[in-house]
Structure 1
Amino acid sequence: MTYTRFAIYDAPSDDALAEFGATWLGWDIRTGCATDQPDVHGLDDITMTPRKYGFHGTLKPPFRLATGTDVGGLQVAVTEMAATCAPTKSGGLALTTLGGFLALIPTGDLSGLERVAGACVRALDPFRAPQSKADLIRRRKAGLSARQETLMLRWGYPYVMEEFRFHLTLSARMPDQDRAQWFQTAQANLPPLNEIYAIDSIALCGERADGRFELIQRYALTG
């Protein structure tokens, strides 16, 4: 399989949570297959944007390979990074509305999670091709702060390091008047959530020719 971009995700391995995410979005990142969504009017529309990424929490945002690098080298680097990075735990996930879209976010102490994400961004940056001018222009339309601009120019994405906020996306941005209803619908479909959210592995994922991401390999955090 040839991939256009790569990313490091937390792809939940908890069966009930992972199954919920795959079914809700209509795409199973673990198997690279479409799934049947719940029979809920409008669900296909509000999940169309996040569907291609699958159910995940971003640790290192999608990137194209830099000139002179290859997938084999990237896999070696991810293996080495995972071997030096300790797993982490936070409080359980909570459903929330974040920036106009539905997401699950962890609660409690997030310093360990931020540590893992920072390690992924730093260690694998040599494999990231510079952003194109078009990408920079698109990102700047969001109205970046001075610090976010600096982070984007250094790491290829404005929401990393201290601007990072881990979340598992469940929808596209929605009109204000629709959010409460969709919050209730998502809440009704969620499985029971654990009181602890653990990240003990990271997932190297690739963007296929059809624009959808799939799991390439999972790496245990053993540092």
Structure 2
Amino acid sequence: MRYAIYFTPEHDDPLCRIAAGWLGRDAFGGAVTAAKAFGALSAAEVAFHTAAARRYGFHATLKAPFRLADGMTEVGLIDAVDAFANATVPFDIPRLKLAQIDGFFALVPAEPLPELDRFAGDVVMAFEPFRAPLSDAEIARRNPDALSPRECRNLSQWGYPYVFDTFRFHMTLTGRIAAEEAARVRVAIEECLGDTLDKPVPVDGLAVFVEPSPGAPFEVRTYRALGKQAERKTA
């Protein structure tokens, strides 16, 4: 079993519900829904383009999937998430936008947010004691020959290439899209999202996702609210 520490909006948040509908699976409970046509994309095309992202559920990676280190337990991990969440002040991402990163579509902050980057870095460090070292097979799956020297060091030290100064907050909505299909897919996603991105996105919770067995869909094991709602501030 692998665990991951992700950001996702709370279950009844409109963005979470719409994104789950687009992906065809709700990470809160694992319910699967039939794909729908959007824009010029048929339902079958939407299902095809979202297949890779569907397994992981709607999320932003903070602490990438990991096996528990020797001596660590799920109960201990969840207790640590509780403590971290209680000590962390919520904040807002003023606006997300749709972007294409390395070929796949994702939601990213419209402007740089140092507070968001610090939050992600704090998560990486706080839960590092729970992470077992990567196996040779896990390292190979990250294709280290294609990584920069800094990304390789991050992979070796933290189990994921994209942390700290190489971190990019993103909430994936598709697999890699060919250039000739990108415009059609973008229009379909924009139609699905509607005006959802016009509102700030509260970063007010932290989720523990689990992969019960290799290749199985990730699901939310537990979701913890951050700090006190009265302390929310805008990044």
Shift of 1:31: 2.2
Could you tell me which residue of structure 2 aligns to residue 207 of structure 1?
Answer: 211
Partners of 2:163 and 2:180 in 1: how far apart? Answer: 30
What one-letter code is carried by the residue in structure 1 that aligns with 2:216? G
Could you tell me which residue of structure 2 aligns to residue 16 of structure 1?
Answer: 14
Partners of 1:214 and 1:142 in 2: how far apart? Answer: 31
Provide the alpha-carbon RMSD of the alignment.
1.6
Structure 1 unaligned segments of length 5 or more: list them.
none
Report the count of equivalent residues.
220
Partners of 1:10 and 1:180 in 2: how far apart? Answer: 28
- Other structure's SS at 2:198 match: coil
Would you say the 8 A contact 1:59–1:121 is kept in 2?
yes
Partners of 1:109 and 1:36 in 2: how far apart? Answer: 35
- Other structure's SS at 1:198 match: strand
Structure 2 matches for 1:140-219, cutoff 5 A? 140-141=143-144, 143-192=146-195, 193-209=197-213, 211-219=216-224
TM-score by length of 1: 0.93
Could you tell me which residue of structure 2 aligns to residue 101 of structure 1?
Answer: 104
What one-letter code is carried by the residue in structure 1 that aligns with 2:133? P
1:114 aligned onto 2:112: no
State the identity %: 39
1:47 aligned onto 2:44: no
Could you tell me which residue of structure 2 aligns to residue 128 of structure 1?
Answer: 131
Bigger shift: residues 105-114 or 181-190: 105-114
Would you say the 8 A contact 1:207–1:214 is kept in 2?
yes
Partners of 2:80 and 2:69 in 1: how far apart? Answer: 14
Superposed CA deviations along residues 120-178 of structure 1, whole A, max 9, x for unmatched, are 11011111111111121221356111111111111000001111101110100011111
Partners of 1:142 and 1:43 in 2: how far apart? Answer: 32
Shift of 1:12: 1.5
Partners of 2:30 and 2:8 in 1: how far apart? Answer: 13
Would you say the 8 A contact 1:20–1:191 is kept in 2?
no
1:62 aligned onto 2:54: no
4+ residue runs over 4 A deviation: none
1:25 aligned onto 2:23: yes
Would you say the 8 A contact 1:17–1:191 is kept in 2?
no
Partners of 2:8 and 2:145 in 1: how far apart? Answer: 27
Partners of 1:60 and 1:148 in 2: how far apart? Answer: 15
Structure 2 unaligned segments of length 5 or more: list them.
229-235
What one-letter code is carried by the residue in structure 2 that aligns with 1:107? A
What one-letter code is carried by the residue in structure 2 that aligns with 1:6? Y
- Other structure's SS at 1:172 match: strand
Superposed CA deviations along residues 58-112 of structure 1, whole A, max 9, x for unmatched, are 1111111111111011011111111222222222111111110111111224111
Shift of 1:194: 3.4
Bigger shift: residues 187-196 or 55-64: 187-196
